[in-house]
Amino acid sequence: IGGLFRNVVGGKTLTKEDLEKPLKGMEDHLMRKNVAREAAVRLCESVERDLVGLKTGSFTSVETTIRQAMESALQKILTPTTSLDLLRAIQSTNAGTPQRPSRPYVLSIVGVNGVGKSTNLSKLAFFLLQNKLRVLIVAADTFRSGAVEQLRVHVRNLQELSQREGGEVGIYERGYGKDAANIARDAVSWAAENAWDVVLIDTAGRRHNDQRLMSSLEKFAQLARPDKIFMVGEALVGTDSVQQARNFNAAFGAGRGLDGFIISKCDTVGDMMGTLVSMVHATGIPVVFVGTGQHYTDLRTLNVAWATRLLLS
Amino acid sequence: MVLQDLGRRINAAVTDLTRSQNLDEKAFDSMVKEICNALLEADVNVKLVAGLRQSIRRSVNFKELAPGVNKKRVIQKAVFDELVKLVDPHAEPFKPRKGKPNIIMFVGLQGAGKTTTCTKLARWYQARGFKSCLVCADTFRAGAFDQLKQNATKARIPYFGSLTNTDPVAVAAEGVEKFKRERFEVIIVDTSGRHRQEDALFEEMVQIQQAVRPQQTVMVLDASIGQAAEAQSRAFKEAADFGAIIITKTDGAAAGGGAISAVAATHTPIVFIGSGEHLLDLERFDPRAFVGKLLGMGDMQGLMEH
Ligand SMILES: Nc1nc2c(ncn2[C@@H]2O[C@H](COP(=O)(O)OP(=O)(O)OP(=O)(O)O)[C@@H](O)[C@H]2O)c(=O)[nH]1
Ligand SMILES: Nc1nc2c(ncn2[C@@H]2O[C@H](COP(=O)(O)OP(=O)(O)OP(=O)(O)O)[C@@H](O)[C@H]2O)c(=O)[nH]1
Ligand SMILES: [Mg+2]
Ligand SMILES: [Mg+2]
């Protein structure tokens, strides 16, 4: 019984010293969950600020108090401040207003190599098709071998599915080697002429430390004028997540940043969900979807309670 | 490049300490701490870092260093040895033999860079006089065969695959059989991305392996992988007993500590690193030379000979 109550400091006013060791434990815990050190340290600092001088509840240990504080810190950081209702945004753009003519809603996907851009773009298309929309997929990765054929296969599969599910899907492609920004612009105007509801633009993977490839994103944004730019980041990535998020967010020129993250491959990391935290922490940009597998239905909106539970388990 | 910043930081920590006026235990401790933080920021597995911290402390044993010994040298050597231990498993990597079929199978997580790297490797051996070819046993990912076909065509490497047969085991077996008959020397088999959480995918990998009986199975790892590296690579090791690791995307900004942790967890050597999206962006990897360079060859050369 003595052991049970050892850590109970009910009604104690917490000092920096009380918190130091258990907070270090929390920091290590977060890093084991693949939270980048930078984000883990900051989160622990904010918890420390919240708790120093606070009186603990009766029968509550320092550890439990820290856990609860971390839980709300994580919830706060992961919960978007503005809600993104994609379907409503699409609808209102398609409908237009007296001031704004009706037009297709344009969405583009960016990110480093191999994270799952093309696959999650196809999942997004599937979701839109289920909502009976007409979706045009644009093959603007004109570099990587097989990138165009990959999308062609997805479009063929989705066409089959849409016969059952409704909606309509098509592909806009111009082969390899051409300038992606020009293709995107042409695709968007073609989509407007042909009354597509949504244009989904795939782009080539690029290293966030490659100046040349990153700077071409600015022209891309100017010509394609996407309503939303989503970055795909994979749950597998480590500390690099922080710089990936920052560099992509800064790549589109003044006044234009990312609108959301899709965190892919969440099914491959167990409870190591740290990437979610690292990317949001680095930029303040919300996670709009998580990828949980390699099939069209494996795309979810982020359940903050679920993510927080895994991070603290 | 991968690990370079980490190397610089570790080097600076060691140098700072050994240059400082009073080389006492407190300064030593803070150097160890700084090195560990650098490793953690480079995605080296958290448990591994804790182990390394203890090993360095133990092998230096600061309290009992005799007054006469060159403390700087002892500390440098301890750090160097521990880092080499991380990346150098003392296992001899496989070398293909001329005049025989050498079957190499690629495995790894989704999007790691397998398909890109298998063409690079086929070209590497081709350029060194091996009759090389590629087999596409990825029948799952959309456009996988087109990707391999286009890469192989650019590199002028013969390839095999199927657009209609969806059984990767059958396709792999057929392709390898065909190329063996045609007396190819290096036959590289590309497979789909997979992860340990999905049993069926691992089962499929084992079946492909049983069908093609590779001399060498290679695990491809993305240099930017984080803490999941250890569990995933262990599971791949258990299921497919890979004998070599190739780290890709080392041209990125990631420090590569996750991939290094996979080496430590599986006692398997890194044999090549991928350093770009193009066909020729492949380099041989030598762990000792690598860590030596990392920590500034000048200082370390002497240590390596002891
Ligand atoms: N397990 C799992 N795999 C995924 C997920 N999303 C994508 N993948 C896989 O990741 C691999 C790479 O996906 P792609 O969509 O081709 O990635 P990309 O970012 O378009 O790649 P590049 O265009 O070459 O830069 C494929 O094998 C996908 O099946 C996911 O949520 N979970
Ligand atoms: N910058 C860089 N990109 C690379 C390197 N190796 C591969 N890539 C890119 O990484 C992405 C994924 O490569 P793939 O070869 O398709 O990966 P994979 O492991 O075959 O993917 P799956 O078959 O879907 O599991 C592509 O965009 C490649 O161009 C590298 O060394 N450096
Ligand atoms: Mg793609
Ligand atoms: Mg592949």
pLDDT at A1: 41
pLDDT digits (tens, 9 = 90+) for A84-94: 899 999 999 99
Contact A238 B257 (CB under 8 A): yes
d(CA A29, CA A16): 19
Residue B87 pLDDT > 90: no
ipTM for the assembly: 0.95
| End-to-end CA, chain B | 28
Ligand 1 atom nearest the C-alpha of A202 is 20
What does the DSSP 8-state code read for residue B110?
A: T
**Among B195-204, B229-238, B261-270, which stretch is predicted with the lowest mean pLDDT?**
B261-270
Q: Per-residue confidence at B298, pLDDT binned at 50, 70, 90?
A: very low
- From residue B41, how far is each of B55, B85, B257 by CA, in Å? 19, 19, 8
Contact B228 A272 (CB under 8 A): yes
- From residue A92, how far is each of A21, A104, A221, B23 by CA, in Å? 53, 10, 21, 69
Query: Is residue A113 in contact with ligand 2, taking CB distance under 6 Å?
Result: yes
Cβ-nearest to A32 among B46, B195, B255 = B46
Please tell me whether residue A260 adopts helix, strand or coil conformation.
strand
Cβ-nearest to A113 among B147, B249, B253 = B249
Distance B31 CA to ligand 3 centre (A): 43
- From residue B137, how far is each of A200, B4, B304 by CA, in Å? 30, 35, 43
Percent of chain B exceeding pLDDT 90 equals 64
Task: State how far residue B132 is from chain A, nearest Cα, in angstroms.
Answer: 20
d(CA A13, CA A18): 9
Ligand 2 atom nearest the C-alpha of A204 is 27
pLDDT digits (tens, 9 = 90+) for B203-232: 999 999 999 999 999 999 999 999 999 999
The mean per-residue pLDDT over the stretch A289-307 comes to 97
d(CA A48, CA A51): 5
d(CA A35, CA A241): 9
B53–chain A Cβ distance below 8 A for any pair: no
Closest CA to B187 of B103, B98, B100: B103
pLDDT at B301: 46
d(CA B285, CA B59): 28
pLDDT digits (tens, 9 = 90+) for A271-283: 999 999 999 999 9
| DSSP string of B142-172, one letter each residue | TTHHHHHHHHHHHHT--EE--SS---HHHHH
Task: State how far residue A116 is from chain B, nearest Cα, in angstroms.
Answer: 7
Interface test mutation site (partner A, options B3, B222, B279, max chain A beta carbons within 10 A): B222
Residue B266 pLDDT > 80: yes
pLDDT at B260: 87
User: Which A-chain residues 127-156 have CB contacts (< 8 A) with chain B?
Assistant: 143-154
Structure tokens of B52? 């390394």
The most distant pair of C-alpha atoms in chain B lies apart, rounded to whole Å, by 74
Chain B residues touching residue A291 (CB < 8 angstroms): none
Distance B249 CA to ligand 2 centre (A): 8
d(CA A291, CA A301): 9
Cβ-nearest to B228 among A34, A122, A239 = A34
Strand pairing class (A299-300; B102-108): unpaired
Distance B111 CA to ligand 1 centre (A): 6
Task: State how far residue B242 is from chain A, nearest Cα, in angstroms.
Answer: 20
Residue A128 pLDDT > 80: yes
Q: What is the value of pTM for the model shown?
A: 0.94
The mean per-residue pLDDT over the stretch A235-250 comes to 98
Residue B295 pLDDT > 70: no
Tell me the best of B120, B220, B245, B277 to mutate to test the pocket of ligand 2, counting ligand atoms within 8 Å of each CB and taking the most: B277
Please tell me whether residue A288 adopts helix, strand or coil conformation.
strand
Average pLDDT, chain A: 94
